């Protein structure tokens, strides 16, 4: 029988302290208050003073409440029964289904030995030309969508999840609006993907500490499925909320902030989650697609900034479109050389012309004279935006490449495109 403590020494923010012996760092406890029972974990040991972070928060906790140590760190049940289920950040059911207790695994485990990693090699097809053609997504990649509130980033996430050929989807929601949570649920259900999806959802109304647990619990489950050979796609939205939860907690614990109030270990904290993305040789894989909203559309804000240093590129979603500039898939070159021979050349060529279009637009707005070439570019830019960049476009890669040639031939002569002669011979549409 585990010892129960009835005297809470201090309560500050979400952190309580008790005097206790034989407690381990990281150990889990149950705190029973008049509002119910919450989990808590040990975040500091100082002699016999144990500091615990209460998952449901410090609000309403009284000094006479009961603390019972469980003798193990935070765990989650892992089995196929997770499929189709919805949980909170601390793993409690939020779908009226039964609580799962079998086969408990620890969360936040060690990282993969770099020597065991392999070079990523499989493209994930999404049907979105701005991804498939210009910044291919690769299995085991970690990649966030950089965006601002109001943009359809969750729609984009749901759509990629639906079209990607993966075995399992794990959705980690942090500070998710209830409507968005329902949107994901309905979309996945309508697409028939719900039965291969597990949700760990922290909504904006839930206690802040639970927000912190979402990535770890989602990725721990993903890792186990991947080791069993499954291709797992983990969706994390919105990682800025995760970072803000860390900030809030760090400040209440009086840690010295480094940059705009964020703790000095923001980079390491984010990295330890994103680096869980992996392709296990001989087993499955974890691909992480995140959402990072940028306060003030500012990419130099600490959250997108630190994220960009960690992830393998980003999709920059602005005005309902994935912008070719600002977006980057660092792994694209691992896969786009073997799709179709014109893929790379077309990608480079079309982007260069689009950049030239933007320059022409700028010249036009400054009132400078438009040359014939400028006029051609203006036409091209408009067609490119409508037929490639618009998110409603949904075609397979090959179709998108064909469309690319079509657009170019509508706007330019072959030599104006700067594309190699042998490719032009083979792919230029005959009119």
Partner 1 sequence: MAVSKGKVIGVNGNMVTVQVEDVVSMNEVAYIEVGGKRLKAEVIRIKGNKAELQVFEITSGIGIGDIVTFTEGMLSVELGPGLLGQIFDGLQNPLPKLAEECGFFLERGVYLGALSTEIKWDFTPVAKVGDQVEKGDTLGTVPEGIFTHRIMVPFNYKDKYTIKKITSAGSYGIKEVIAEVEDSKGKVTEITMSFHWPVKRPIANYVERLRPVKPMVTKIRLVDTFFPVALGGTYCIPGPFGAGKTVLQQVTSRNADVDIVIIAACGERAGEVVETLKEFPELIDPKTGKSLMERTIIICNTSSMPVAAREASVYTAVTLAEYYREMGLNILLLADSTSRWAQAMREMSGRLEEIPGEEAFPAYLESTIAGFYERAGRVRLKDGSEGSVTIGGTVSPAGGNFEEPVTQATLKVVGAFHGLSRERSDARKYPAIHPLDSWSKYTGVLDVERTETARAIIFRGNEVEQMMKVVGEEGTSINDYVTYLKGDFIDAVYLQQNSFDPVDNAVTTERQDHIFGIIIDVITSQLDLDTKENARSWFNQLRQKFLDYNGSEWENDIFKSLEKEIRAMIEEKKLGVDENFQASKSAEEA
Q: Which residues contribute to the site for partner 1 (CB under 8 A)?
A: 21-26, 44-48, 73, 109-120, 227, 255-259, 263-265, 267-268, 271-272, 275-276, 280, 300-302, 305-306, 308-310, 312-313, 325-326, 328, 330-331, 333, 355, 363, 366, 368-369
Residue 155 or 297: the one with the smaller Cβ distance to partner 1 is: 297
Which tokens sit at 45?
Answer: 């040991």
Q: In angstroms, what is the minimal distance from the CB of 15 to partner 1? A: 12
H/E stretch holding 190 reads: helix 178-190
Query: How far apart (Å, rounded) are the C-alpha atoms in residues 55 and 379?
Result: 56
Q: State which residue, 177 or 330, has the beta carbon closest to partner 1.
A: 330
Report the nearest approach of partner 1 to the CB of residue 213 (Å).
14
Query: Residue 312 or residue 342: which is nearer to partner 1 going by CB?
Result: 312
User: Shortest Cβ distance from residue 264 to partner 1 (Å)?
Assistant: 5
Which one, 35 or 325, has the nearer CB to partner 1?
Answer: 325
Alpha carbon separation from 183 to 159, 227, 252 (Å, rounded): 12, 30, 33
In whole angstroms, the minimum distance from the beta carbon of 224 to partner 1 comes to: 12
> Is the four-CA dihedral 255, 259, 264, 269 of positive or negative sign?
positive
Q: Which residue in this structure is represented by tokens 């291919």?
A: 136
CB closer to partner 1, 275 vs 406 = 275
Closest approach of partner 1 to the CB of residue 211, in Å: 20
Instruction: For residues 395 and 404, give the distance between their C-alpha atoms in angstroms, rounded to a whole number.
Output: 12
CB of 424 vs partner 1, minimal distance in Å: 16
Q: Minimum distance from CB of 399 to partner 1 (Å)?
A: 26
- Residue 409, Cβ density class (10 Å: 0-12 exposed, 13-18 middle, ≥19 buried): middle
For 39-108, the DSSP string reads EEEEEEEETTEEEEEETT-STT--TT-EEEEEEEE-EEE-SGGGTT-EE-TTS-BSSS-PPP-SSEEESS
Nearer to partner 1, 205 or 256 (CB): 256
Report the b/e string of 125-143 with b at 16+ CB within 10 A.
Answer: bbbbbbbbbbbbbbbbbbb
Q: Which is nearer to partner 1, 150 or 282 (CB)?
A: 282
């Amino acid at each position: 029988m585990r010892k129960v403590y009835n005297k809470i020494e201090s309560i500050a923010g979400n952190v309580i302290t008790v005097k206790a012996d034989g407690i381990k760092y990281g150990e889990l406890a149950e705190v029973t208050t008049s509002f119910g029972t919450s989990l808590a974990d040990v975040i500091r040991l100082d002699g016999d003073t144990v500091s615990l972070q209460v998952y449901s928060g410090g609000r309403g906790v009284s000094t006479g409440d009961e603390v019972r140590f469980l003798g193990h760190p935070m765990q989650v049940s892992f089995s196929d029964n997770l499929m189709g289920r919805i949980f909170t950040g601390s793993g409690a059911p939020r779908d009226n289904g039964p609580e799962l207790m079998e086969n408990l695994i620890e969360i936040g485990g060690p990282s993969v030995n770099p020597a065991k990693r392999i070079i990523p090699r499989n493209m994930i097809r999404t049907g979105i030309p701005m991804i498939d053609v210009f910044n291919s997504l690769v299995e085991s990649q970690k990649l966030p969508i950089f965006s601002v509130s109001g943009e359809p980033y969750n729609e984009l996430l749901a759509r990629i999840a639906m079209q990607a050929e993966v075995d399992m989807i794990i959705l980690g929601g942090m500070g998710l609006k209830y409507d968005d949570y329902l949107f994901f649920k309905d979309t996945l259900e309508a697409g028939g993907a719900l039965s291969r999806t597990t949700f760990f959802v922290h909504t904006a109304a839930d206690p802040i500490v639970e927000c912190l647990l979402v990535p770890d619990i989602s990725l721990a489950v993903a890792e186990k499925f991947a080791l069993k050979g499954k291709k797992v796609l983990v969706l994390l939205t919105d990682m800025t909320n995760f970072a803000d939860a860390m900030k809030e907690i760090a400040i209440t614990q009086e840690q010295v902030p480094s940059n705009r109030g964020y703790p000095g270990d923001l980079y390491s904290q984010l990295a330890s989650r994103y680096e869980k993305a992996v392709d296990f040789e001989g087993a499955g894989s974890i691909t992480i697609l995140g959402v990072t909203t940028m306060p003030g559309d500012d990419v130099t804000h600490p959250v997108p900034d630190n994220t960009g240093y960690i992830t393998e590129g980003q999709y920059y979603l602005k005005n309902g479109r994935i912008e070719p500039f600002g977006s980057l898939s660092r792994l694209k070159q691992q896969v786009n050389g073997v799709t179709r021979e014109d893929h790379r050349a077309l990608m480079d060529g079309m982007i260069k012309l689009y950049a030239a279009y933007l320059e022409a637009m700028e010249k036009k707005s400054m009132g400078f004279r438009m040359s014939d070439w400028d006029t051609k570019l203006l036409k091209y830019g408009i067609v490119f935006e409508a037929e490639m960049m618009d998110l409603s476009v949904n075609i397979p890669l090959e179709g998108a490449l064909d469309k690319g040639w079509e657009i170019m031939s509508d706007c330019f002569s072959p030599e104006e495109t700067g594309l190699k002669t042998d490719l032009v011979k083979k792919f230029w549409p005959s009119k």
